[in-house]
Amino acid sequence: MSDEFLERYHRRPGRTSFGLQPWRDDSGRSSYEVLASRLGGAEPSRRILDLACGEGHLLALLDERGFTPLWGLDRSEDELAVARRRVGPAVELVHADARSMPLPTGGFDVVLCHMALMLIAPAEAVLDEIARILRFGGELVALTNRKIDDPAYDALLHRIRGITAEAGLPRLRLGDPRFLARSGLAQLFCHPRYDERSLTIEDFEVHARLPPARLWPPLQTMYDIVRLPQALQAELEARVLEEWSLLTDPDGMVHCSQGMRLISVRTAR
């Protein structure tokens, strides 16, 4: 069910980067830039894979910064078609499932994954595959979201839950929830092919400050909203805008923050 839903959602490419576009960390960086900055400078011949690369936002950033050789892999042909137009011809794009990748064993130095690892279940299947394609001592660096308390974001989640329940829809459960809890991550990377002592988990936040009507379109790309029928999306929008209008500052802006997490781990040597 979760795979089919993701497949349908990603037939319309580019929603993820559009949804994340207004959000910046305390240093003014997008979450893509935060992940890219973990690579340091471009070192020649470091083989980098962007796993579940979507429409290539991160790949384009890395390509511009001179990282090479670069690969991107995704299960959505539509997302990959956009990626193909965004990145240079040297970037290799692979249409495949992250749980069974047609890529060589030990063929990569770094696997990056932006906002996708937690969507892939079971976690063991994708982690085994990542460990297989990384060289010994290679690094996985993944960026995921995490729950924080934020009045504007909580108001949205509260309203989504309400409208979903009123419509009698089941909760949308995507991926493997162990990726979203620190304890789950510690458990997952207690794995013969990963060096659990190398595991680092860094939490940070990204913020947006916009008038309510401009905050809605990026957040409307959320999986839990897109799956609602159009009429319910319109109803949700009206309720959320009303609630956000009570949270605006004197300039008419609403401040909204989302929790992010940067996870890094090396394969065992």
Q: Residue numbers of the site for ligand SAM (CB under 6 A)?
A: 6, 10, 16-17, 52-54, 57, 74-76, 79, 97-99, 114-116, 119-120
Alpha-carbon distance of 55 to 216, in angstroms, equals 22
Minimum separation from the CB atom of position 140 to ligand SAM (A): 14
Closest distance to ligand SAM from the beta carbon of 143 (Å): 8
C-beta of 22 vs 54, nearer to ligand SAM: 54
Choice between 59 and 156, CB closer to ligand SAM: 59
Based on CB atoms, which residue is closest to ligand SAM, 83 or 155?
A: 83
Secondary structure (DSSP) of 112-156:
EEES-GGGSSSHHHHHHHHHHHEEEEEEEEEEEEE----HHHHHH
When the beta carbons of 25 and 235 are compared against ligand SAM, the nearer one is 25
Q: How far is the CB of 197 from ligand SAM (least distance, A)?
A: 28
Question: In what helix (H) or strand (E) does residue 226 lie, and over which residues does it extend?
Answer: helix 223-226
Closest approach of ligand SAM to the CB of residue 174, in Å: 9
Distance CA 265, CA 137 (A): 9
Closest distance to ligand SAM from the beta carbon of 76 (Å): 4
Yes or no: say if 114 and 31 are a contact pair by the CB < 8 Å rule. yes
Write down the least CB distance from residue 10 to ligand SAM, Å: 4
Taking the complex as a whole, the smallest distance from the CB of residue 36 to ligand SAM amounts, in Å, to 12
Spatial separation of the C-alpha atoms in residues 118 and 79, rounded to whole Å: 18
Contacts 24+ apart (CB under 8 A), 147-154: 147/180, 147/259, 148/205, 148/257, 148/258, 148/259, 150/256, 150/257, 150/258, 151/247, 152/215, 152/244, 152/247, 152/254, 152/255, 152/256, 152/257, 153/256, 153/257, 153/258
62 CB contacts (<8 Å, ≥6 apart)? 36, 39, 48, 50, 70
Give the nearer residue to ligand SAM in terms of CB position, either 102 or 170. Answer: 102
CB of 212 or CB of 220, closer to ligand SAM:
220
**Residue with the CB atom nearest ligand SAM in the bound state:** 54
Number of residues that this document lists for the chain = 269
Rounded Cα gap, residues 240 and 200, in angstroms: 36
**92 with 25: CB under 8 angstroms?**
no
> Which of residues 126 and 254 has its CB atom nearest to ligand SAM in the complex?
126
| Cβ at position 217, least distance to ligand SAM in Å | 17
Q: Which is nearer to ligand SAM, 76 or 243 (CB)?
A: 76
